[in-house]
Amino acid sequence: MSSSPIELGDLVGRLARAHAALGDGARTPREAEIANRQPSRRGLYARRALAAGDQITAADVTALRPTGALGAEHAHQLIGQRARRAIAVGAPFATCDLAATGTGRGAA
């Protein structure tokens, strides 16, 4: 199909706008979403009171909003650990609850 220079220029312009509308493929939050990022993420919380030395099982852990000190992505590291401190029911788990050696169920 033949096009005039004006029609071809219009087509090229439309293709450039369509390409720009697709973006770069990176999944990043928009500026308006950044404030909601922290409250929207889930953190790990105790489903029951744990005494120091209790083994932490999957039944002892729940992921709730907002995230606490330990994000939900650390669940596999936490499960199987021994509680290093007393943790109240509903209290968030903290990074100090993870063993430095990574001895949880998900450790290699």
Count structural domains, the chain: 1
Asked if residue 52 belongs to a domain, the reply is yes
Asked if residue 105 belongs to a domain, the reply is no
**In terms of residue numbers, what domain contains 86?**
5-97
Q: Report the distance separating Cα 10 and Cα 75, nearest Å.
A: 54
What integer pLDDT is reported at residue 68 of this predicted model? 80
- What CATH number should be reported for the domain holding residue 56? 3.90.1210.10
- For the stretch 22-34, what's the b/e string if a residue is b when 16 or more beta carbons lie within 10 angstroms of its beta carbon? eeeeeeeeeeeee
What integer pLDDT is reported at residue 104 of this predicted model? 52
What residue type is assigned to position 39 of the chain? P
Average pLDDT score over the chain: 89
Asked if residue 30 belongs to a domain, the reply is yes
Asked if residue 102 belongs to a domain, the reply is no
pLDDT tens per residue across span 43-76:
999 999 999 999 999 999 999 998 888 999 999 9
Asked if residue 93 belongs to a domain, the reply is yes
User: Regarding predicted confidence, which is higher, 29 or 65?
Assistant: 65
- Predicted TM-score (pTM) of this structure: 0.65
